[in-house]
Structure 1
Amino acid sequence: MRSPGFVRLLRQVPMLNRQQRSQLLAALRPALGLDSVCETIEQVRPAPLSCPDCGGSRHYRHGVNRGLQRYRCRACHRTFNALTGTPLARLRHREKWLDFSKEMLDSRSVRAAAKSVEIHRNTSFRWRHRFLGGIRRDQPERLTGIAEADELFLLESQKGSRKLDRPARKRGGVAHSRGISREHDCILVARDRGGQTCSFVTGRAAVTARQLYRHLLPVLDPDVLLVTDGHRAYQTFARQARIAHAFVDLRLGERVRGAVHVQNVNAYHQRLRSWLARFHGVASRYLPNYLGWRWALDGERIASPERLLRAAIGIFHT
């Protein structure tokens, strides 16, 4: 719109009644949402920007696509923008991303979020796991001081699968055998006394020393004191990795011995289990996404839609 026409439009705004002002704000909301999303993306855009295909740093501006500046690489002639190569690439309706991020901060279900943001439930499901694909990688690099580790077991679920490799069971079913078996997913949670938390899905049944070596060793500081229960796999792992280790023998009723306890990580287990219950069953293949989601919400570590969107974008191409 040309400036004179825009000035005339602004002069007519005070003449609108309440209903017309509400309609005007509703009409402007998508554009304002798109502006906010694009501003958030531009704030975390790497400098200098490089081509995600060939890595070249020589490029020029090549138009604007849905509010984002597009570039063309001088070396390979591919076009890209700040979202290319990120989990949110090629998703539509950007003007609704911040509203959807707010629904995720409130831990809303797929259908409830879809109804609130006015998108299809399939779109809501796709957005949830695209967002979580970047968020789940946002974990601490190191656990220091005293770090507690323990396992949480959930009944394996093939929710949403078209073909099952076992007989179907009703929602809320139980395992065929007592105790921990191959029908349970093992979630390993390690948490230091500063609140830094790392969680992993190690596989089925009880955790092994090999799995601990693969998942736990890279996030433990060499000078850490690892505190666990009396599971033999932890003792074998700590001895092979040469990590200081202390444990409480829960079978003998020992819960606390000075600073040696696993109450911190067990409290996190309880919060995680009660939070997962609202989704009425989580498919095993999506468990890593939900673990990252819970860590993002724990202690309000991510408390604003803009920050959640930046975490969802993840690691930009460099």
Structure 2
Amino acid sequence: MKAPSFTQWFAQLPTLNQPQRLQTLAALHPAAGLDQVVALIGQIGAAKRQCPRCACERYYRHGQANGLQRYRCRECRRTFNDLSGTPLARLRLREKWLDYLATVLDSKPVRAAAKQVEVHRNTAFRWRHRFLQRVKYDRPQCLSGVVEADEMFMLESQKGARKLERAPRKRGGRASRRGISRELDCILVARDRSGQTIDALVGRGALTVAQLERHLLPKLDRQVLLVSDANAAYRAFSRKHGIAHEAVSLSAGERVRRGSAGAIHFQNVNAYHQRLREWLARFHGVASRYLPNYLGWRWALDGGRITSAEQLLRIAIRVIHRLR
């Protein structure tokens, strides 16, 4: 629209009635959302822009495509934009991304989110796991001080799989074996007293020393005091790597005791387990293959760490908290 025509149209806005104003706002909202997302993508990409193919930081502008600035690498001559090489590459309907991320912050199920944003439920599901793909890596680098560790178990689920590795069961079913078995997913959670948390889906069945070495050891400061239950895997792990360890025997009725480092317990981890279980219940069953994404999602929301759709978009494009 040319400037004189726009000026004439803009001058007539005060004469609109309420339905007309609402209709105008509804028509402008997608365009405003798209402009905001494009500006955020450019801002995030400018922090450390490099070729996703060869990691060269020498490039020049090379036109635009699909509303995003394109660049050409001076080394390999390939073109790219700020979403190339990220989970969000080639996703459409960017004008609805921030509205959708608001539903992620509200922990809405797929169908409720799809209805609110006005996209198909399959699109809402695909977006959920594209946006959460890098959120699960947004973790502290190190736990220090008193570190509590404990595992929780959930019934293994192959929800959505085309071929099952076992006989099908009804939703909400139970394991065929009592106690801890290979039918249960093992989720390890470790948390220090400052609230820094790491978690991982370590496998199925009982926790092992090898799993602790793979998922917990790289995250522990060597001067930590590890507090756990009486599981022999923690004791063997601590002895093998020279880590100070205190065990609290729940079976003996012990929950808290005094020690040289203060109160010895792992109630912070147990409380996190409870919040995680209550939060997962709203999704009516989560497939085991997607559990790491949900663990990252829950950690992003826990304690109000992520409070805006813009922050969540930044993490979805580039992990920003791993240095902590």
SS in 2 for 1:44: helix
TM-score (norm 1): 0.96
How far did residue 315 of structure 1 move? 4.4
Matched, 1:309 2:313: yes
Whole-Å separation in 2 of the counterparts to 1:247 and 1:48: 45
Change (3 A) 1:125 1:250: same
CA distance in structure 1 between the partners assigned to 2:160 and 2:146 by the alignment: 40
Distance in 2, matches of 1:48 and 1:271, equals 36
| Other-structure match for 2:64 | 64
Deviation at 1:48, TM superposition (A): 5.2
Match of 2:170 in 1: 170
Secondary structure (helix, strand or coil) at the match of 1:133 reads coil
Matched, 1:4 2:8: no
What amino acid does structure 2 have at the position aligned with 1:134? Answer: R
Moved over 3 A (4+): none
Instruction: Give the letter aligned to residue 189 of structure 1.
Output: V
* Cα distance in 2, alignment partners of residues 18 and 234 from structure 1: 65
Q: 2:286 aligns with which of 282, 287, 301?
A: 282
Letter in 2 for 1:22: L
Q: Tell me if the contact between 1:86 and 1:315 (Cα under 8 Å) persists in the aligned partners.
A: no
| Mapping of residues 1-318 of structure 1, within 5 Å | 1-47=1-47, 49-258=49-258, 259-315=263-319
C-alpha displacement at 1:163, in angstroms? 0.5
Give the residue type in structure 2 aligned to 1:289. N
Check conservation: 2:69, 2:81, Cα contact below 8 A: yes
Task: Report the more deviating stretch, 78-87 or 164-173.
Answer: 78-87
Letter in 1 for 2:226: L
Q: Which amino acid aligns with 2:229?
A: D
TM-score by length of 2: 0.94
Q: Which runs of 5+ in 2 are unaligned?
A: none
Deviation sequence 1:37-81 (CA, Å, 0-9, x none): 122222222445221112233322222233321112233332211
- Provide structure 1 residue ranges, at least 5 long, that are not aligned to the other structure: none
Q: Is the 8 A contact 1:191 1:264 kept in 2?
A: yes
How far apart in 1 are the matches of 2:68 and 2:6?
24
Q: CA RMSD in A?
A: 1.3
Q: Which moved more, 1:251-260 or 1:285-294?
A: 251-260
Structure of greater relative contact order (alpha carbons < 8 Å, 6+ residues apart): 1
